[in-house]
Structure 1
Amino acid sequence: MAVFPQYQDAKTDDRFRLGQQKGSLPFYVSYNKPGAHYPMHYHDFAELSLVTEGSGTESINGLVHNLRPGTMSLLLPHHIHELRSDPACPVKLYSCMFDITILSGNPYESYLSRWLHKVGSELPSFHHFEGETLDAIALLIGQIVREYEDARVGRDAVLRGKLVEAVTLLLRAVLEGQPVEDVRQSDPGIRAWSIMRYIHLHYNEPISLNTVSSHFNLHASYVSRTFKEHTGKTVGDYMHELRIARAATLLTASGMSITDICMEVGYDSYRTFARVFRQHRGMSPSDYRLSRDKPVISS
């Protein structure tokens, strides 16, 4: 079966806008019961979650781990994520969604930039907290929820501080070398996931099958075959899908010129951009923008 993750964009996510009605911080938190299966997806914002009830499994960049009360996970932008919940004991969790830049810019927190980018590649994306440490984490998440819901003076500063603390406790737990349980590779192997994640991170740059192959020091035919077996698409088609999905969002949710959008999503030729966009959306970029500006009239 072909695998094609859904894309979620902060620019069109109402939850970010609702969160920013109380402050300027690009952040929101919610308590979720995802259901039996939350399909594979990725987004341009980061996500920190804590399981409070239930059991199931979570896949992040092709690595699967068990979920149980106390499991905290950190997704960086463009990490590919899927969740399955035990029908007899469904998962319930808190999710904090935020712009990753919240965690940067403070010279006293340089350790974050040193380790954060390794999460999901060189470092695990999750940790199972237990005992007193879990109590501290649960208390911290509760404080984040209460602060988020109140429009009090200094709300954004407090939220950022507590978010930094929560991410730091996760990094500390991961770096202290405690054993990581129940991690296994998803069929047909982690290589295709690594290729997919690389494309997600660099699709808006001038990359090609040869660029991807060179990055992984692999033969282009091997990369092409492995990727198509896993996704049902060629590397080129997959990059076009990502670029056009992003362009469609920018056409709808931003005031950027179409020429700027063309460059922003990785095309150096407007003719190519317009041709590929029409293939995927059935109309030109300008017509697409106009169609989204018109109100829907029901018959």
Structure 2
Amino acid sequence: MAVFPQYQDAKTDDRFLAAQQKGTLPFYISCNRLGSHYPMHYHDFAELSFVVEGSGTETINGVTHELKSGTMSLLLPHHIHELSGSRTNPVKLYSCMFDIHILFGNPYESYMNRWIHKIGSDLPSYHDFEGEAFQAVAKLIEQIAQEHKEARIGRDAVLRGKLIEVVTMLLRALIDGKESAAAVGPAEREQPNVKAWSILRYIHLHYNEPISLGTVSDHFGLHASYISRMFKEHTGKTVNDYMHELRIARAATLLTASEMSISDICLEVGYDNYRTFARAFREHRRMSPSDYRMSHNRPVISP
């Protein structure tokens, strides 16, 4: 089955835009009920979710696990995921969306940078909290939701502190239990499907850099023709076509939601040649970048 997830950009999310306009912490929390399928997607911000009740499944980078009361997941930017909730027992969960950079910067929290980037690779992406640990995490999540709702002095400092606390609790649980079945072991990494998802994730993380099929081949130590064949079977597209689609999707968002010049957008999404960018954009959007911007009632900003 071909895989091509939807892209969600913080620049087009009203809740992030509101925080940016107010000069507040790039963070928001919502409580949602899910009784159906939420399609495969990825975004450029981090997401921490916590299930209060209900049942369903979550798939992160091709690995599926059950959702139940106490399940906490942490998705790093560009992790690909989808959710399915039970119609008879809908999932009720809190979702915290935030700019991952707010977790870093304090020298006394250097452990965060050391471990956070292992999520989804050396560490699993989720943990099922139970008993007293569940109660402690649930209380902390409710405090975050309440603090976010109020506009009290020091709100951003409290939110950041509580977010770091809950992420730390998750990291401790993941590190303590990393030998569990939820972690992807070396043998599992040799399976073609897991390899395909690893390659897909790598491209999602580096698509705006000067990478190619050869770069991907060197990184994974696999023959380019093998990667090409496996990737085409998994996504229905070649590696280069897939990267072009990622870059153009990002460019389209920047054209309609930012004040960046078109030449800067060209560089931002990974093209070092404007002609290549313009040609690829026209192939995917059936118009030039400037016409696309104008069609969305945005002025054409000169370089």
* TM-score normalised by L of structure 1: 0.94
Q: Does 1:228 align with 2:228?
A: no
Deviations 1:147-198 (A, max 9, x none): 0000110000000000000000000011112664567879961111000000
1:176, 1:189 → 2: CA distance? 27
User: Matches of 1:124 and 1:178 in 2, distance apart?
Assistant: 7
Structure 1 residue aligned with 2:61: 61
For 1:138 and 1:147, the matched residues in 2 are separated by 14
Instruction: Please show how residues 72-83 of structure 1 align to structure 2 within 5 Å.
Output: 72-83=72-83
RMSD of aligned residue pairs (Cα, Å)? 1.9
Contact residue 23 and residue 155 of structure 1 kept, 8 A: no
CA distance in structure 2 between the partners assigned to 1:36 and 1:72 by the alignment: 19
Q: Secondary structure at the match of 2:271?
A: coil
Question: 1: distance between equivalents of 2:124 and 2:240?
Answer: 30
Percent identity over paired residues: 72
CA distance in 2, matches of 1:57, 1:188: 22
Corresponding residue for residue 209 of structure 2? 205
CA distance 1:101–1:178, shift in 2 (3 Å) = closer
Deviation by residue 1:226-285 (Cα, 9 ceiling, x = unmatched): 111011111001000000000011111111111111011000110000000000001000
Q: Distance in 1 between matches of 2:219 and 2:181?
A: 30
User: 2:66 & 2:49 partners in 1: Cα distance?
Assistant: 14
Which residue does 2:36 correspond to in 1?
36
d(CA) in 2 for partners of 1:114 and 1:20? 28
Q: Is the 8 A contact 1:188 1:230 kept in 2?
A: no
- The answer (yes or no) to whether the contact 2:35–2:90 under 8 Å persists in 1 is yes
- Count matched residues: 295
Out of 293, 299, 302, the residue aligned to residue 289 of structure 1 is: 293
Does residue 266 of structure 1 match 2:279?
A: no
Counterpart for residue 25 of structure 2? 25
Matches within 5 A, 1:59-208: 59-177=59-177, 180=180, 189-208=193-212
- Once residues 182 and 108 of structure 2 are traced to their aligned partners in structure 1, the CA distance between those partners, rounded to angstroms, is 35
**C-alpha contact (below 8 Å) 1:24/1:156 kept by paired residues:** yes
| 1:240–1:171 CA distance, 2 compared to 1 (3 A) | same
Query: In the superposition, relative to structure 1, how do residues 182 and 212 fare at CA in structure 2: closer, same or farther (>3 Å)?
Result: closer
Partner of 1:297: none
Question: Structure 1 residues 22 and 269 mapped into 2: Cα distance closer, same or farther (>3 Å)?
Answer: closer
Tell me the distance in 2 between the aligned counterparts of 1:241 and 1:9. Answer: 15
Write out the 4+ residue segments of structure 1 that deviate beyond 3 Å after TM superposition. 18-23, 178-188
